[in-house]
Structure 1
């Protein structure tokens, strides 16, 4: 994702030809932030800011290249510039697309939803606008797009098209200040637009992915490159070393604080968070690129430089490999373990290293045509070159047709969306036949609802109930898991009143139940399945009790690979243990070990899973009639 001057050594250079120190190390830190955010989001909730660090570096470096070309030749060759950019970016993109799509085809058809659009967006560098048009969400972790991370590459490439055209105009000015002002104005305008869109209630996807609202790091980095273009090349003195070190430490402190505290898609992140991170990144880039700066030499240590040089490939590979590994782990029942993260990280480093050495570097040195000759011409081959050539030929021979097959058979919806749609259509038909309102919640395209979790032990009924609750006595409020189970619920409980919607949390369910109670439509027994889409606080359970009054209550525990699920189920079981007339339906333990009864996301039930869901509710309703529970709210537990 970062851009370096096109030299055989790969070393970043100044406008005068000297090497910029510390930037490879800074790339390593930035890509590390992104990796931790995606692999272990709870550890670094604001790690997505690493992308904005890359934006600043890319704007700074690419403008320094243009200034160097202008200084050396007196002109800017647009076609040569764009050809170099394509040579730098496209080979790795093509390889990642071919290999990842082929692996996704073998792993899960769900991963192929919309893959043709994603591939076109990736190769044409318009992924960010494709995702905006599809209503995708960068911050959603359910049913993620295979090439979601390509949005930033698209934004950078669009900048690379625009910047040289602007340079032809602004570089006609004589002073550095007048050259930098238009670039700085565009950067500030983009930063203000991000805040304005967020304040106006725009979708986070639009704000985050928009080229107009998220390119300020690129333009401000370019403006700084212009302002520093005639900076003295002699090493900084002692005072300069102290200043550089202090500025770098302050910049890293701001970035670290934001990475730990800033919440994804929050109003604060768009209003000032991204902007503050960009200012901090500008300060760090200024400090580490000063000639001979100690902080730049510290960042140039070998491990950081190795990662930094391969950061482009690491960024491209990590996300699709994580999505594929997570899908495989979920299907194998390993979704709650870190297996997917560890495997995807190892594969990312291996694939990025191989791509860098055998694909990216040869194309950068001798061009695509020259690289093809080297790869596939048998003349003067060494044994190692022959092995490399055969391996590349095999990869292309396998992945080209597999990618074509993947595009051809890609489904319109994920299996979880199909499960939801099955229940949704029957619920709408039943409501229509009864003359009632339509059911809530269309499943969003590209976003999948989340169900859920784990359960605690419950006392079994001490005696068989003499009677049973029937469907006509039950009001059920739930999320997409209940929606997907609706056909089986109506079979098990004819006449049950169900209100289920996608992406609904417990507080929303409290509001729904309150409205039913106000209209006098709340039935004698209440069933609630709302633990999938976020934490369940004790306060929300107390509010639920106040809304439903003395009615018996069934809380359905959650089953999903989500970090909040264990706490959700703990709170549900604790609430039930503290109150008579409240029991937990053991959906989680009932469906555990039967991934074939769930959609490929491991969350939403198919018909067999729906039967387990309804059976867990039936068992909980029977438990409500046991002597231990039938005494109701008014009798405290010991």
Structure 2
């Protein structure tokens, strides 16, 4: 490849189709879908998004460089118009369908979904989720448009990157130097991610940020300079072909292994991991685009090509389908047939989108619409668009806001007591579900008030859930519950506020396993802060891959510390889907009663009569 952009290539060079890239897209989208169906099935499936980022950077740059080499300039208007026709119509339809489905099926969610929809159509979803701080409870919430964060990053890239590329090509000129500049920018992006991310903390800012995720796409950009697909020889010598194929096979095995082994809670991926994984993906792409390789032919098999061509449609529709269907079941207790329905409905919607929205619009632009009823398919397409567009505009205008509320803004984020809860409030406090006549599980042995108990309870959102009910039975309890709290965050909290709870007459309840994993050392450090106090560790039921490890550490701690007792909430809640909200973690009123009862069962016998 020539290093000087002034050395033009043959203007008759074809833009050949590369089925291997569609095969790689198929692998990426399958990984993402499995991950969203059930994270525990493929813990690293989210890395498929980074595969898409690398492919986008590579393919877009390759096409732009080809145009530049053949014409001496890049037509930005035509480039952006192609991107608009390729991406936006399907997103608009998706957003309209989702907001309408929300209005019909879940009207109480309409305000929050409307906000997400605004961000989606403006392609700023990633920054909207950063500002909204979706780091914790939104991961369990009903958010059918959340996956559009990655499309927002790509669209922002498509707007800005061609301008930067043209500027560098016209000023710096030498490909080698342009590539070096992009490499430096990718390292800056990597450095920003490392600097912003903090071990064992929420990663929403670094995960969703355009600046921090730019590194991945720029790796694809650099590969386009170093391995231009339209210049590769169709008939290289046998040795080179074997090397290319071997590299492809080994790198795709590594990529699939990462899909299986990587965890979205792993701190290392935010400290260079994404960069290394994406760099390894470059080798898969290099082999996938080679015109003579056997690996490219295998990856470009008819099944993978079929899926890959529809990867954009599948990505758009799978997450809303899963979100709606799973919202009617308890996460972690979803029947197998629901997953089958997920996949089937996703395929149907994706195929409809691909055939009747994306492909026609890409070929014929706005000519796909007509009010001439004799042109049947365009007429039906136009009518369907009107049917979904008009009520969608009313939703965006706020016409139905009164039906719902912004659940994010109104979410109870903490529960704190000072130990002086009024006893008389016990008889006056009635849950909304009791008022409505809903049958409650009779899980308490009695309604006794334990006014002699003065325990300290520290926990996360589950503690927030049970706080009010617990104080009905233990009015002098000190409760410190905070949504999103991890176990390692409790240690400095104890140092600052609860040092006095360290003698053998004190009781401490710790419910801190919901939001992520921790180490044996971190758990032991927290336990040590309470000295000789009686400690009750509440284990967790959370449909995440760290559940088993967290619960095992708590069980081991109860065995190895004489002052530690395990409150086995995981066992108590087994088979009781009625205890849980659809996320499988937060509690309905019967679950609140059951967990309160389970804690009291362990605490009360310890008291002297």
Q: Same-fold call, TM > 0.5?
A: yes
Q: How far did residue 209 of structure 1 move?
A: 2.0
**1:296 alignment partner in structure 2:** 296
Asked if the contact 2:418–2:479 (Cα under 8 Å) also holds between the matched residues in 1, the reply is: no
Deviations 1:514-562 (A, max 9, x none): 8745466885444444443346888888777766667666555545544
TM-score normalized by structure 1?
0.76
| Distance in 2 (alpha carbons) for counterparts of 1:339 and 1:561 | 18
Inter-partner Cα distance in structure 1 for 2:518 and 2:67: 59
2:120 is aligned to: 122
Give, in angstroms, the shift of residue 184 of structure 1: 3.8
- Rounded to whole Å, the distance in 1 between the matches of 2:507 and 2:195 is 47
What residue in structure 1 maps to residue 341 of structure 2?
343
Partner Cα separation in structure 2 for residue 158 and residue 225 of structure 1: 19
Question: Structure 1 310/604 Cα, relative in aligned 2: closer, same or farther at 3 Å?
Answer: same
Structure 1's 254 and 537: CA in aligned 2 closer, same or farther, altered over 3 A? Answer: closer
Which residue, out of 514, 526, 530, partners 1:532?
514
- Equivalent residue for 2:373? 378
**Aligned partner of residue 268 in structure 1, secondary structure:** helix
Q: In structure 2, what is the Cα distance between the partners aligned to 1:585 and 1:536?
A: 18
Deviation at 1:385, TM superposition (A): 7.2
Contact 1:329–1:340 (8 Å) recurs in 2 = no
**2:454 & 2:136 partners in 1: Cα distance?**
42
Structure 1 partner of 2:153:
155
1:592 deviates by 7.1
Q: Relative to 1, partners in 2 of residues 1:36 and 1:598: Cα closer, same or farther, differing over 3 Å? A: closer
Q: 1:208 to 1:184 in 2, by over 3 A?
A: same
CA–CA distance in 2 between the matches of 1:278 and 1:251?
A: 11
Residue 56 of structure 1: aligned partner:
54
Deviation of residue 235 (structure 1)?
A: 2.9
State the distance in 1 between where 2:13 and 2:33 align. 31
Offset of residue 484 of structure 1: 3.0
Aligned equivalents of 1:337, 1:102: Cα separation in 2: 27
Give the 3-state SS of the residue equivalent to 1:42 in structure 2: helix
**Residue ranges of structure 2 left out of the alignment (5+ in a row):** 1-11, 423-443
Checking the alignment, whether the CA contact within 8 Å between 1:183 and 1:223 is kept in structure 2 is: yes
Q: CA separation of 1:553/1:106 partners in 2, compared to 1, >3 Å: closer, same or farther?
A: farther
Equivalent residue for 1:353? 351
Structure 2 length as normaliser, TM-score?
0.79
Of 239-248 and 203-212, the range deviating more from structure 2: 203-212
Structure 1 gaps, min length 5: 1-13, 434-459, 632-638
* Cα distance in 1 between the residues matched to 2:105 and 2:546: 26
1:245 equivalent in alignment to 2:273: no
Report 1:549-564 matches (<5 A). 554-556=536-538, 558-564=540-546
State how 1:31-430 maps to structure 2 within 5 Å: 31-108=29-106, 111-112=109-110, 114-137=112-135, 141-143=139-141, 145-172=143-170, 175-198=174-197, 204-229=203-228, 231-264=231-264, 266-330=266-330, 335=333, 337=335, 341-367=339-365, 369-373=366-370, 376-381=371-376, 396=389, 409-414=403-408, 417-418=411-412, 423-424=415-416, 427=417
- 1:528 & 1:267 partners in 2: Cα distance? 24
1:489 corresponding residue in structure 2: 470
Contact 2:321–2:346 at 8 Å: present in 1 too?
yes
* Cα drift, residue 361 of structure 1: 0.6
Task: Check whether the contact 1:474–1:523 (CA below 8 A) recurs between aligned residues.
Answer: no
Against the structure 1 CA distance between its residues 513 and 323, is the aligned structure 2 distance closer, same or farther, given a 3 Å change threshold?
A: same
Change (3 A) 1:479 1:188: closer
1:352 positional shift: 1.0
Corresponding position of 1:445: none
What is the distance in 1 between the residues matched to 2:478 and 2:200? 34
Q: Describe the shift of the 1:406–1:604 C-alpha distance in structure 2 as closer, same or farther (beyond 3 A).
A: farther
Report how far residue 362 of structure 1 moved: 0.8
Using a 3 Å threshold, how does the CA distance of structure 1 residues 176 and 144 change in structure 2: closer, same or farther?
A: same
* 2:22–2:309 Cα contact (<8 Å) kept: yes
CA deviation after TM superposition for structure 1 residue 370, in Å: 0.8
Cα distance in 1, alignment partners of residues 169 and 493 from structure 2:
61
Match of 1:635 in 2: none
211-220 or 513-522: bigger deviation: 513-522
1:594 & 1:251 partners in 2: Cα distance?
Answer: 42
Matched residue, 1:19:
17
Residues 119-164 of structure 1, C-alpha deviations (whole Å, 9 max, x = no match): 2221121222222222233997322643222121111111111222
Kept in 1, the 8 Å contact 2:503–2:532? The answer is no
- Two-structure CA RMSD over aligned residues (Å): 4.3
For the 8 Å contact 1:24–1:305, the answer to whether it is kept is: yes
Change in 2 beyond 3 A, CA 1:183/1:325: same
Residues 456, 477 of structure 2: 8 Å contact kept: yes
Question: Where do 1:412-491 residues align within 5 Å?
Answer: 412-414=406-408, 417-418=411-412, 423-424=415-416, 427=417, 469-491=450-472
- 1:605-624 matches, within 5 Å, as 605=587, 610-624=592-606
**Which shows bigger deviation, 63-72 or 159-168?**
63-72
Say which is worse superposed, 186-195 or 42-51, in terms of deviation.
186-195
- Alpha carbons of 1:297 and 1:500: their partners in 2 closer, same or farther (altered >3 Å)? same
Question: Is the 8 Å Cα contact of residues 585 and 619 (structure 1) preserved in structure 2?
Answer: no
Q: Which moved more, 1:564-573 or 1:36-45?
A: 564-573
Cα distance change on mapping 1:429 and 1:95 into 2, 3 Å: farther
